[in-house]
Amino acid sequence: MRRSGGIVLASLALAGAALANKLDPALVGSWTGVEIPVLFQVQSGGTCTIMNLQGTCATSAGKVTFTTSAGERAEYRYTIKGDLLTVTGPELPQPLIMRRSGASPAEVQPGAPRTGKAAGPSQSEPAAAAPSGKGTIFEKESWGVRLTVPAGWRAGEKDGMLLIGGESEAGLIIVRFVQQVSREAMLAEYGRGLHEQGINLMPSGPAQDWKAPGGQAVAGELAGSGPNGLQYRARAIGLFSRFGGGLIAFGLTTADKYATVKARTEAVAQSVSFKAVKAPKGADLLAGRYEYVYVAPQGGYTREAKITLCSDGRFSKGGEMSGSGSAGSAVTNHNNGGTWSSQGDALQGQITLSYNNGQRETLPYRVSQDARDRSAYGAAVTIGNTKYQKSGPGNCR
């Protein structure tokens, strides 16, 4: 499947570590991800659990190690400040931050119950979520989507995606809204599999039509290996909205926990209902012509970049660099193009550029809400690390 954002897999990448000599008492307790629904529990005897994957933990010189029952090992650096635990490592493209959800050893007196201070709601918890008898209702107006998060699972938004993680069941469900999608594109994406952060999954068989109350859908299964040789399986379900676009639910876990995650992923997909998308007030459609111009503060060098995202799904890129004196000028990526698609909403998400030469790249985008970044055609958009000013519509005729 399309790249889902490296930090999304952090909870699974942590599973597989090494044994050290002692355990830092400050690490003992329960920790819950601030932006990612990952649960990390450490007992004073060294037994620990990551997303229901059991093993042993130990610490040494600012590093925490975790060994699974199968003997797979990995090592990560950690720091604790107040009730926040920050974990970094080679398989985590950005720090994983967790908040203590139980009392620290210093807060618990002998013979006293371990109640402690309950962690407050994560800042990434969806604002439009409400409890129900069978789980939590998640509703997002800019997607035109309503679904139910399974009971005992936590949900949070990250980079234009909804991440659902089990509190006592191992696994992660990634839900993505796709603004432009066809059955052919959905099947082609499924056929490419998932290749990210050392996890490589390919389809176990062709995708099949799948019954969903919300409309047409296709579904399939993927299998493969991850860091330290762990075996993973995934359930992928793509749902099509009659209002345009669609939703992808991708449930991922280790092979031995797959049956539970498959059932939870299918329950999420079965609960999905669509309605006409209402773009947030002041937001513009992503399609359009965009330009970026940089002039060196001391003069003598300029760089210009252009990208056009056509409403029909095509795109083109071009640019030019120039310098004074003998530096001359050069045209870069002139008329480099192909097709584009996006996931997320009218404010932020990810955009995938599929070039005519077969290359693909996925970049985050964010629509500026600063009035100073608006032109007569709409708001500026940051794609990757470049902020483009909107200079025209996306009709491309």
Indicate the residue among 61, 76, 107 that finishes a domain. Answer: 107
User: Do 57 and 159 reside in the same domain of the chain?
Assistant: no
State mean pLDDT over 100-114: 45
Q: What is the DSSP letter of 60?
A: E
Long-range Cβ contact pairs of 311-317 (< 8 A, separation 24 or more): 311/285, 311/287, 311/394, 311/395, 311/396, 312/396, 313/180, 313/339, 313/340, 313/341, 314/338, 314/339, 314/340, 314/396, 315/339, 315/340, 315/353
Q: What is residue 9's predicted lDDT score, i.e. its pLDDT?
A: 44
Assigned domain for 121 exists: no
How many structural domains does the chain have?
3
**Under 8 Å between Cβ of 52 and 68:** no
Write out the H or E segment, with its range, that includes residue 330. strand 329-344
Q: What is residue 121's predicted lDDT score, i.e. its pLDDT?
A: 33
Assigned domain for 112 exists: no
Task: Look at residues 52, 48, 83 and name the one whose alpha carbon lies nearest to residue 64.
Answer: 48
Give the angle 272-246-156 at the CA atoms, nearest 5°: 60
Residue 133: pLDDT over 80: no
Q: What is residue 11's predicted lDDT score, i.e. its pLDDT?
A: 46
Least confident of 1-10, 233-242, 372-381: 1-10
Band (159; pLDDT cuts 50, 70, 90): low
Share of the chain above pLDDT 70, in %: 73
Task: Count the alpha carbons within 13 Å of 335 in the hemisphere toward its beta carbon.
Answer: 0
User: Do 255 and 312 reside in the same domain of the chain?
Assistant: no
Q: In this structure, what token pair is assigned to residue 230?
A: 């762990």
Least confident of 156-165, 289-298, 326-335: 326-335
User: Do 312 and 270 reside in the same domain of the chain?
Assistant: no
Share of the chain above pLDDT 90, in %: 18
Task: Look at residues 253, 269, 366 and name the one whose alpha carbon lies nearest to residue 9.
Answer: 253
Q: In this structure, what token pair is assigned to residue 216?
A: 């047409």
3-state DSSP percent of the chain in helix, strand and coil, to 5: 10, 50, 35
Q: What is the DSSP letter of 204?
A: S
Higher pLDDT, 134 or 9: 134
Please enumerate in sequence order all residues whose Cβ is within 8 A of that of 210, keeping only pairs 6 or more positions apart, or say none: 217, 218, 219, 237, 269
What CATH number has the domain bearing residue 207?
Answer: 3.40.1000.10
Give the angle 290-296-297 at the CA atoms, nearest 5°: 120
Assigned domain for 144 exists: yes
User: Do 77 and 213 reside in the same domain of the chain?
Assistant: no
Indicate the residue among 274, 297, 312 that finishes a domain. Answer: 274
Residue 297: pLDDT over 90: no
Residue 322: pLDDT over 60: no
User: Do 358 and 229 reside in the same domain of the chain?
Assistant: no
Residue 14: pLDDT over 80: no
Indicate the residue among 274, 301, 331 that finishes a domain. Answer: 274
Report phi then psi at 178, rounded to 5: -115, 120
Q: What is residue 170's predicted lDDT score, i.e. its pLDDT?
A: 76
Q: What is residue 285's predicted lDDT score, i.e. its pLDDT?
A: 63
Report how far residue 218's alpha carbon sits from residue 173's, in angstroms, rounded to the nearest whole number: 17
User: Do 251 and 299 reside in the same domain of the chain?
Assistant: no
Higher pLDDT, 326 or 159: 159
Assigned domain for 263 exists: yes
Please enumerate in sequence order all residues whose Cβ is within 8 A of that of 70, keeping only pairs 6 or more positions apart, or say none: none
Report how far residue 11's alpha carbon sits from residue 42's, in angstroms, rounded to the nearest whole number: 15
User: Do 251 and 175 reside in the same domain of the chain?
Assistant: yes
Least confident of 41-50, 148-157, 198-207, 316-325: 316-325
Mean predicted lDDT score pLDDT of the chain: 75
Q: What is residue 122's predicted lDDT score, i.e. its pLDDT?
A: 34
Assigned domain for 234 exists: yes
CA 10 distance to own-chain centroid: 10
User: Do 250 and 176 reside in the same domain of the chain?
Assistant: yes
Quickly tell me which residue has 């597989």 as its tokens. 16
What CATH number has the domain bearing residue 71?
Answer: 2.40.128.290
Q: How many CB atoms lie within 10 A of CB 397?
A: 6
Assigned domain for 283 exists: no
State mean pLDDT over 15-39: 68
Q: What is residue 331's predicted lDDT score, i.e. its pLDDT?
A: 42
Range of the domain at 146: 129-274
User: Do 223 and 310 reside in the same domain of the chain?
Assistant: no
Q: Which pLDDT tens digit goes with each residue over 218-268?
A: 999 999 987 667 788 999 999 998 887 889 999 988 888 899 999 999 999
325: left (phi over 0), alpha (psi -120 to 50) or beta: left
Q: What is residue 168's predicted lDDT score, i.e. its pLDDT?
A: 72
Residue 397: pLDDT over 70: no
Assigned domain for 156 exists: yes
Q: What is residue 113's predicted lDDT score, i.e. its pLDDT?
A: 33
Q: What is residue 205's predicted lDDT score, i.e. its pLDDT?
A: 93
Assigned domain for 123 exists: no
Q: What is residue 301's predicted lDDT score, i.e. its pLDDT?
A: 60
Quickly tell me which residue has 């090592």 as its tokens. 75
Report how far residue 140's alpha carbon sits from residue 184's, in angstroms, rounded to the nearest whole number: 26
Report how far residue 151's alpha carbon sits from residue 130's, in angstroms, rounded to the nearest whole number: 12
Higher pLDDT, 32 or 389: 389
